[in-house]
Amino acid sequence: MIKTAIFVEGQSELIFTRELLLKFFEYQSIWIECYNLFNDQDLNPTEYAFLNKDADFYFQIMNIGNDQKVISSILKREKYLFSETQGFSKIIGLRDMYSREYREIVKNSNIDFEINQKFIQSHQETLRAKSIYPEKVNFHFAIMELESWLLSITNIFERLHSDLSYEKIKKSIGIDLLNINPENEIFHPADLINKILRIVGGSYDKKKGEVNKFLGRIERNDIVNLLESEKCNSFNNYCESLSIKI
């Protein structure tokens, strides 16, 4: 069994990663356990476990609850996870590029690709300098948020509500989702999803129920199609670390 530990910044990332794995692997040969790890010590199980002791792939997903602590939590637990008693093969980290720190640097609500690279490089340099097993740790940013990836899924809004066609969204908000790459053009993707859902009286505040509602509309083909598209390179990189390949 191949064991992978995944450290994510929040609940949305945990739910997304769990559903991404289940949908791609079609609930076969996969075992997932999900935890909150808010104090770097106690693993508190969540309700999202998918148990299968005969699985070929085991994933342990940990919600750190803080974008600034994902790397430090990895560094504190890597020795334990890679020990012979635990036997993990890989650690993956995920956080959003969009953050208070990013907003304070950019200030003009525009994506700055040079700043993106500086964030990525600084995290890689931290891992190279401080990790015991840097070759076994992969760290990823969702650019600008994982909601960029949701915005890139064909017809997901129309599946949520019949009045949310691409044409209606373009007319109401002025954004053509078919012809943009959200991770390059949308500074705050979660806010855009909220604006889109307001067209039909809905909302999106990254609450558990809202994230689950979105992900319940995603199918395996959506994952494959996004991987085959030219959109959201950060999604492709994350999937590759998760052994999701086409």
Range of the domain at 16: 2-146+219-241
- Mean pLDDT check: name the lowest of 207-211, 222-226, 235-239: 207-211
What's the predicted TM-score (pTM) here? 0.95
Q: How far is CA 108 from CA 15, 104, 163, 211, 218, in A?
A: 31, 9, 33, 28, 33
| Digit-coded pLDDT (tens) for 142-157 | 999 999 999 999 889 9
Which burial class, exposed, middle or buried, applies to 221 when counting CB atoms under 10 A from its CB (0-12, 13-18, 19+)?
A: exposed
In a domain, residue 103? The reply is yes
pLDDT of residue 85: 96
CA distance 30 to 159: 27
Mean pLDDT of 209-213: 89
pLDDT for the residue 41: 72
Which pLDDT band holds residue 47 (cuts at 50, 70, 90)? confident
Is residue 19 located within the same domain as residue 94?
A: yes
Find where tokens 């602590």 sit: 69
How many structural domains is the chain composed of? 2
Q: Is the distance from CB of 17 to CB of 74 less than 8 angstroms?
A: no
Q: Residue 162: which residues within 8 A CB-CB, separation 6 or more?
A: none
Residues 170 and 234 in one domain: no
Shared-domain flag, residues 121 and 237: yes
Q: Which residues pair with 62 in a beta bridge?
A: 7, 35
Chain mean pLDDT for the chain: 94
- Does residue 230 share a domain with residue 114? yes
Going by pLDDT thresholds of 50, 70 and 90, the confidence category of residue 123 is very high
**Which residues on neighbouring strands pair with residue 139, listed in sequence order?**
93
Domain co-membership, 175 together with 235: no
In the predicted model, what is the mean pLDDT of residues 187-199?
96
Same domain, 73 and 162: no
- 135 and 183: one domain? no
Q: CB-hemisphere CA count at 13 Å for 178?
A: 8
Strands 137-142 and 90-96: parallel
Tell me, yes or no, whether 47 lies in a domain.
Answer: yes
Same domain, 136 and 226: yes
**What local confidence, expressed as pLDDT, does residue 39 receive?**
78
**Is the domain of 24 the same as that of 36?**
yes
Residues 135 and 224 in one domain: yes
Is 246 inside any structural domain? no
Decide if 34 is inside a domain. yes
- Does residue 91 form part of some domain? yes
Note whether 105 and 223 are same-domain residues.
Answer: yes
How many Cβ atoms are within 10 Å of 80's Cβ, its own excluded?
Answer: 11
In a domain, 197, yes or no: yes
Place of tokens 């401080």: 130
Q: Which of 51, 37, 46 is nearest to 7 (CA)?
A: 37
**137 and 211 inside one domain:** no
Query: Is 121 contained in some domain?
Result: yes
User: Would 59 be classed as within a structural domain?
Assistant: yes
The beta strand positions in 81-174, using DSSP E, are 90-96, 137-142
pLDDT by residue (tens digit) across 68-99? 999 999 999 999 999 999 999 999 999 999 99
